[in-house]
Amino acid sequence: MALNHTFIMIKPDAVKKGYIGPILNKITASDFKIVSIKMTQLSKRDAEIFYAIHKDRPFFNDLIAFMSSGPIVAAVLEKENAVDDFRTLLGATNPEEAAEGTIRKLFAYSVGENAVHGSDSDENSLIEIQFHFSQSEIFSEI
């Protein structure tokens, strides 16, 4: 199977708690290769664009406020079956429902502030990668 890519963010809650290192360790120990990474902060406008699909959901305003509240770490990961394998490693949206050993089980405490984002499809991963990174910041063929 060909290598492919997924987009992830370590969200403001996990950055604030000092979990950047432990989360990146978990990711690389699970055979994902980091081919792009940066620490940045989303403006409210960035967060609204990134999460536009959720604009009619009741939690949208809280989500935008949270995601723009502090620094995040954005990264592109490379692996066979990257999108689905990362969603498995990530665990359920609600950490109370996340399987043992998953990132959200280990590092998240609420359904809103749930530590890490992972793309949900190859199509969306490409859109999300291109939203955050220019070609010269990505050290692989995307």
Identity of the residue, 5 or 117, whose beta carbon is nearer to ligand IDP in the bound complex? 117
Q: How far is the CB of 69 from ligand IDP (least distance, A)?
A: 12
Stretch that binds Mg ion, among 18-26, 57-65, 82-90, 117-125 (CB under 5 A): 117-125
Neighbouring residues of 135: CB distance < 8 A, sequence distance ≥ 6: 142
What are the two backbone dihedrals, phi and then psi, of residue 42, each rounded to the nearest 5 degrees?
Answer: -80, 135
132 has catalytic annotation: no
CB 6 within 8 A of CB 83: yes
- The correct pick among 111, 126, 138, 142 for binding ligand IDP (CB under 6 A) is 111
Which is catalytic among the residues 5, 54, 117, 132?
117
- The correct pick among 5, 26, 79, 117 for binding ligand IDP (CB under 6 A) is 117
Question: Length of the chain in residues, anyone?
Answer: 142
**The pair of three-digit structure tokens given for residue 13, joined into one six-digit string:** 């809650």
Instruction: Decide: is 112 part of the binding site for ligand IDP (CB under 6 A).
Output: yes
> Which amino acid, residue 25?
N
**The pair of three-digit structure tokens given for residue 2, joined into one six-digit string:** 């060909």
Identity of the residue, 46 or 120, whose beta carbon is nearer to Mg ion in the bound complex? 120
Identity of the residue, 84 or 137, whose beta carbon is nearer to ligand IDP in the bound complex? 84
Q: Scanning the structure block, which residue is given the tokens 């359920």?
A: 92
Which residues are the active-site residues? Answer: 117
